[in-house]
Structure 1
Amino acid sequence: MFRQWVTLVIIVLVYIPVAIDATVLHVAVPTLSAVLNASGNELLWIIDIYSLVMAGMVLPMGALGDKIGFKRLLLIGSGLFGLASLLAAFAASASWLIATRALLAIGAAMIVPATLAGIRNTFSQTQQRNTALGVWAAVGSGGAAFGPLIGGMLLEHFYWDSVFLINVPLVLMVMALTARFVPRQQGRTDQPLHLQQALGLIVAILLLVWSAKTALKGAVPLWIVGAALLTGGALLWRFVRLQLAAATPMIDMRLFTHRVILSGVIMAVTAMVTLVGFELLMAQELQFVHGFTPFAAGMFMLPVMLASGFSGPIAGVLVSRLGLRRVATGGMALSALSFLGLSVTNFSTQPYQAWGLMAMLGFSAASALLASTAAIMAAAPKEKAAAAGAIETMAYELGAGLGIAVFGLILSRSFAASIQLPQGLTAQEAAQASSSIGEAFRLAQTAEPGTGASIIAAAREAFIGSHSVALSTAGLLMLLLAAAIWFSLARVEQPTH
Structure 2
Amino acid sequence: MANPAHKRWLILTAVMLAFMPVVIDMTILHIAVPSLTLALEATSTEVLWIIDVYPLLMAGLLVPMGTLADRLGNRRVLLVGLAVFGLASLLAAFSQTPAMLIVARMLLALGGSMIMPCVLGIVRRTFEDERERAMALGIWGTVSAAGAAVGPLVGGALLEHFWWGSVFLINVPLMAVVIPVAFALLPRVETTSPGKWQVGQAALLITGIIAVVYSIKAGIGATAPLVIIAVTLLLGLTLLVAFARKQLHATAPMLDLALFAHPAILAGIVMALFVTGALAGVELTLAMELQYVLDKTPLQAGIFMIPIMLAAAIGGPVAGYLSNRYGLRLVASLSLGVSAGSLALLPVVGFDASLIVPALLAVLGLALSIGLTASSIAIMGAVDASKGAAAGSLEATAYELGSGLGITFFGVFMSSVFSRSLALPPDLATTLAERAATSIGDSYVVAGELPTGQAEALIEAAKTAFSITNSVLLSTCAVLLAVLAVVVFVLLSRDRKVGWRWSANAGFLDGGITVLA
Superposition TM-score, scaled by structure 1 size = 0.89
Which region of structure 1 is more displaced relative to structure 2, 392-401 or 128-137? 128-137
CA shift, 1:312, in A, is 2.1
CA deviations 1:91-127 (Å, max 9, x no partner) are 1111111111110111122223444555677789999
User: Is there any run of 5+ residues in structure 2 with no aligned partner, and where?
Assistant: 504-517
Which region of structure 1 is more displaced relative to structure 2, 291-300 or 471-480? 471-480
Which residue of 419, 435, 440 maps to 2:438?
A: 435
Task: Judge conservation of contact 2:137–2:377 (CA < 8 Å) in 1.
Answer: no
- Structure 2 match to 1:394: 397
How many angstroms apart in 2 are the aligned matches of 1:90 and 1:225? 33
- Which amino acid counterpart does residue 325 of structure 1 have in structure 2? R
- Structure 1 match to 2:335: 331
- Which amino acid counterpart does residue 246 of structure 1 have in structure 2? A
Shift in CA distance, 485/72, structure 1 to aligned 2, threshold 3 Å:
closer
Matched, 1:316 2:315: no
- Which amino acid counterpart does residue 354 of structure 2 have in structure 1? P
CA shift, 1:446, in A, is 0.8
How many angstroms apart in 2 are the aligned matches of 1:224 and 1:3? 53
- Which amino acid counterpart does residue 152 of structure 1 have in structure 2? G
Matched, 1:245 2:249: yes
How many angstroms apart in 1 are the aligned matches of 2:363 and 2:208? 35
Which region of structure 1 is more displaced relative to structure 2, 316-325 or 376-385? 376-385
- Which amino acid counterpart does residue 284 of structure 1 have in structure 2? M
Identity value in percent = 44
- Structure 2 match to 1:83: 87
Task: Judge conservation of contact 1:3–1:182 (CA < 8 Å) in 2.
Answer: no
Pairing of 1:159-174 with structure 2 (within 5 A): 159-174=163-178
Task: Judge conservation of contact 1:145–1:308 (CA < 8 Å) in 2.
Answer: yes
CA shift, 1:438, in A, is 0.7
How many angstroms apart in 2 are the aligned matches of 1:147 and 1:357? 19
Which residue of 364, 389, 407 maps to 1:404?
A: 407
Shift in CA distance, 424/240, structure 1 to aligned 2, threshold 3 Å:
farther
Matched, 1:143 2:155: no
CA deviations 1:317-359 (Å, max 9, x no partner) are 33334332222221222111112111333212x1322222212
Shift in CA distance, 324/191, structure 1 to aligned 2, threshold 3 Å:
same
Shift in CA distance, 14/378, structure 1 to aligned 2, threshold 3 Å:
closer
Shift in CA distance, 354/241, structure 1 to aligned 2, threshold 3 Å:
farther
- Structure 1 match to 2:452: 449
Highest relative contact order (Cα 8 Å, sep 6+), 1 or 2?
Answer: 2
Task: Judge conservation of contact 1:63–1:192 (CA < 8 Å) in 2.
Answer: no
- Which amino acid counterpart does residue 397 of structure 1 have in structure 2? E
Shift in CA distance, 409/236, structure 1 to aligned 2, threshold 3 Å:
farther
- Structure 1 match to 2:425: 422
Shift in CA distance, 53/213, structure 1 to aligned 2, threshold 3 Å:
closer
SS in 2 for 1:446: coil
Shift in CA distance, 383/115, structure 1 to aligned 2, threshold 3 Å:
closer
Which residue of 55, 65, 88 maps to 2:59?
A: 55
- Structure 2 match to 1:361: 364
- Which amino acid counterpart does residue 165 of structure 1 have in structure 2? L
How many angstroms apart in 2 are the aligned matches of 1:3 and 1:315? 24
- Structure 2 match to 1:472: 475
Which residue of 81, 102, 105 maps to 1:98?
A: 102
CA shift, 1:170, in A, is 2.7
How many angstroms apart in 1 are the aligned matches of 2:383 and 2:193? 28
Q: How many pairs are equivalent?
A: 496
Superposition TM-score, scaled by structure 2 size = 0.86
- Which amino acid counterpart does residue 258 of structure 1 have in structure 2? H
Task: Judge conservation of contact 1:26–1:148 (CA < 8 Å) in 2.
Answer: yes
CA shift, 1:85, in A, is 0.9
- Which amino acid counterpart does residue 419 of structure 1 have in structure 2? L
- Structure 1 match to 2:78: 74
Task: Judge conservation of contact 2:440–2:466 (CA < 8 Å) in 1.
Answer: yes
Shift in CA distance, 117/329, structure 1 to aligned 2, threshold 3 Å:
closer
Shift in CA distance, 4/335, structure 1 to aligned 2, threshold 3 Å:
closer
- Structure 2 match to 1:343: 347
Task: Judge conservation of contact 1:56–1:198 (CA < 8 Å) in 2.
Answer: no
Shift in CA distance, 437/208, structure 1 to aligned 2, threshold 3 Å:
farther
- Structure 1 match to 2:462: 459
Shift in CA distance, 201/469, structure 1 to aligned 2, threshold 3 Å:
farther
SS in 2 for 1:38: coil
